[in-house]
Amino acid sequence: MASFGGHAIPGGFFLLLGLWLTVKYVLHHYWRRNKAKGRPVVPLFFKRMNYGEGGMAVFASFVGIMVEQFVVSGPHAHLYDRENNSWVKLMNWQHSTMYLFFGIYGIVLLASTASRLVPVGVDRLALSMALFVEGFLFYYHVHSRPPLDAHIHTLLLVAVFSGSASAMLEVFMRDNVIVELFGSCMFILQGTWFYQIGFVLYPLSGPEWDLNQHDNVMFVTMCFCWHLAVALLLVACIYSTVWWMVNRLSGRGGDVEIGMRNTSKTSSQKALLEASDEE
């Protein structure tokens, strides 16, 4: 990952995940506020979104692990080199471990969407753990680097651990839109901050950054706050856009909302049937 691209790829991944989660949570929130009283079952529409999200997470983490392992300079699934008595490419192994936990999140999300036997909220716990493991490995990753390098990664940890805490909170407070959007905001922040790390450590153009200058550390701290402001703005824009679009489509008898309502009705009937079968 010691390149601009190596930071841009996870950055893009987290950014997309954050944007996706924002859209999903706004739709959830819209549905919760406008649903009829007697239909507590989540519509098929949301189930499909979860299947897609879970499948993507499993797929992306599988690809990530494979790339980290079998890239030319990778460890090729060798952990210990007995000849030199040394570990082989621990960095790649650490990144594989991080991907593994996002894969576990995907599997848990799939399982909890598919079966009602999985306790509600376990997917949030798995997401919280994936973020915790990411932050945990980064934390010990950063030791003994130049001040700016260490600092810029420490700021990443703020976003990672805030996201982890927020996901943990969602285990206990389901369906609180503020916590949900805060979590997705932290993903967006993490994503854009990965890009920022890439720009600072491996600038595409212009002079190198002096990694020991205190002013750079001060600027980077402030820059993190600007990223946070941008992430908040993005979430607010997506919130209003999605809400407005869904409202408009549903208002003029449009297709999307009607489709959503229709699938939700049939899905709730199916879910009831499934429920009676299972018991």
Q: Which residues bind its own copies (CB under 8 A)?
A: 29, 85-87, 90, 93-94, 97, 100-101, 104, 117, 119, 121-122, 125, 129, 133, 136-137, 140-141, 143-144, 158, 171-173, 176-178, 181-182, 207, 214-219, 221-222, 225-226, 228-229, 232, 243
* Distance of alpha carbon 201 from alpha carbon 194, whole angstroms: 11
Residue closer to its own copies, measured from CB, 20 or 219? 219
Residue closer to its own copies, measured from CB, 39 or 48? 39
Tell the smallest beta-carbon distance from residue 98 to its own copies (Å): 8
Tell the smallest beta-carbon distance from residue 87 to its own copies (Å): 5
Residue closer to its own copies, measured from CB, 173 or 258? 173
Crossing angle of the two packed helices 90-114 and 122-141, in degrees rounded to 10: 170
Tell the smallest beta-carbon distance from residue 61 to its own copies (Å): 12
Residue closer to its own copies, measured from CB, 53 or 170? 170
Tell the smallest beta-carbon distance from residue 126 to its own copies (Å): 8
DSSP 175: T
For residue 209, what are its two tokens? 């950054």
Residue closer to its own copies, measured from CB, 76 or 214? 214
DSSP string for 57-107? HHHHHHHHHHHHHHSTTS-TT--EETTTTEES-HHHHHHHHHHHHHHHHHH
**Among 191, 260, 278, 244, residue whose Cα is nearest residue 49:** 260
Tell the smallest beta-carbon distance from residue 110 to its own copies (Å): 13
Q: Is 210 helix (H, G, I), strand (E, B) or coil?
A: coil
* Distance of alpha carbon 133 from alpha carbon 99, whole angstroms: 10
Tell the smallest beta-carbon distance from residue 40 to its own copies (Å): 17
Residue closer to its own copies, measured from CB, 6 or 121? 121
Is 30:246 a contact under the CB 8 Å cutoff?
yes
Residue closer to its own copies, measured from CB, 16 or 150? 150
Tell the smallest beta-carbon distance from residue 265 to its own copies (Å): 20
**Among 110, 121, 127, residue whose Cα is nearest residue 49:** 110
Is 165:197 a contact under the CB 8 Å cutoff?
no
CA 81 to chain centroid: 34
- CA separation, residue 142 to residues 106, 134, 157, 218 (Å): 27, 12, 10, 18
